[in-house]
Amino acid sequence: MLDLMRHGEPVGGRRYRGQIDDPLSEKGWAQMQAAVGDTVPWTRVVSSPLLRCRAFAQTLADRHGLPLALDERLKEIGFGEWEGKAAAEIEQDAPGTLARFKADPVNARPKGAEPLADFHARVAAALEDLLAQHVGQHVLLVGHAGVMRMTLAWALHIPLEHVYRIEVATASLTRLRFDAGRASLIFHGSTRVGR
């Protein structure tokens, strides 16, 4: 079983943060703690090394005596010239840009952004290793909206052209079950850990 948890709100609020290493805000910490509660079903935690994921993952692992691993391949996608910008700033500079991006995320990329296929390949490689190393375990992956989209695309064979149709709320949880290499989506977008 693999649970995915998106980080809570970072300092600075919503923006195309990409690989900028902003920490969680107080609200972000509260969102993640509320989503997890007191009882955890996991046997281990894996996290993006970026602070908005890593700090909570470390705290959770320490609190419950769970092994924690950080994986560089689970960093958010690099957004190039959009890094650190809010949607309103991007639209002000070039009206219609975000609509084009969401309609065609493969080709309508920000200048200097990581190609979507490259991002998918690095997340897929991390997931393949994770599942091979931890067969039969219930793993929590603390990551980013983009990582969650790539995980769903990889596990459920969703074309990359459609990944931005998947909404990923702050501090939300998604669960995938893997049987003989076949993935099933158990739930998506929960704000509380499913038992």
CA distances from 145 to 52, 53, 61, 192 (A): 12, 11, 21, 17
Q: Average pLDDT in the 65-76 region?
A: 98
Cα distance between residue 96 and residue 133, in whole Å: 44
Q: Which pLDDT belongs to residue 181?
A: 79
Tokens of 66: 């769970």
Is the pLDDT confidence value at 149 over 60?
yes
Which of the following CATH numbers is that of domain 2-190: 3.30.420.40, 3.40.640.10, 3.40.50.720, 3.40.50.1240?
A: 3.40.50.1240
Q: Average pLDDT in the 166-180 region?
A: 95
Q: What is the pTM of this model?
A: 0.95
Q: Which pLDDT belongs to residue 193?
A: 77
Write out pLDDT tens, residues 30-57: 999 999 988 799 999 999 999 999 999 9
Q: Which pLDDT belongs to residue 180?
A: 83
Q: Which pLDDT belongs to residue 194?
A: 61
Is the pLDDT confidence value at 7 over 60?
yes
Write out pLDDT tens, residues 93-145: 899 999 999 899 999 999 999 999 999 999 999 999 999 999 999 999 999 99
Q: Are 16 and 114 in contact (CB under 8 A)?
A: no
Q: Average pLDDT in the 89-95 region?
A: 92
Q: Which pLDDT belongs to residue 124?
A: 98
Q: Are 151 and 4 in contact (CB under 8 A)?
A: yes
